[in-house]
Amino acid sequence: MAENKVRKVRCPQCGGESLWSPENPWRPFCSERCKQIDLGCWASDSYRIPVQTQPGEVDGELPDSPES
């Protein structure tokens, strides 16, 4: 008979203990609250990758390439 092991993981929002199993409908989060907080961060663009602009770059566009 296969033994059903429940894995414990760290909640990505609060850092608390969370069960990684079908019984936890919010996995990998520990609760619905943590899941909703994370969703709110995505919706408000709180999660961003910092980008360094190049000299002459305007609004994310690269300058025109010189004509040959």
Return the CA Rg of the chain.
21
Q: What is the C-alpha separation between 40 and 37, in angstroms, rounded? A: 5
CATH code assigned at 13: 3.30.50.10
What is the tally of structural domains in the chain?
1
Q: What does residue 42 show for φ and ψ, rounded to 5 degrees?
A: -65, -45
Rounded to whole angstroms, the maximal C-alpha distance in the chain is 73
Q: What is the pLDDT of residues 39-66, one digit of tens each?
A: 999 889 888 888 877 776 666 565 565 6
Cβ neighbours, 10 Å, residue 36:
13
Residue 7: both structure tokens together: 């894995």
Q: Is residue 61 assigned to a domain? A: no
Q: What is the pLDDT of residues 3-49, one digit of tens each?
A: 567 899 999 999 999 999 999 999 999 999 999 999 999 889 888 88
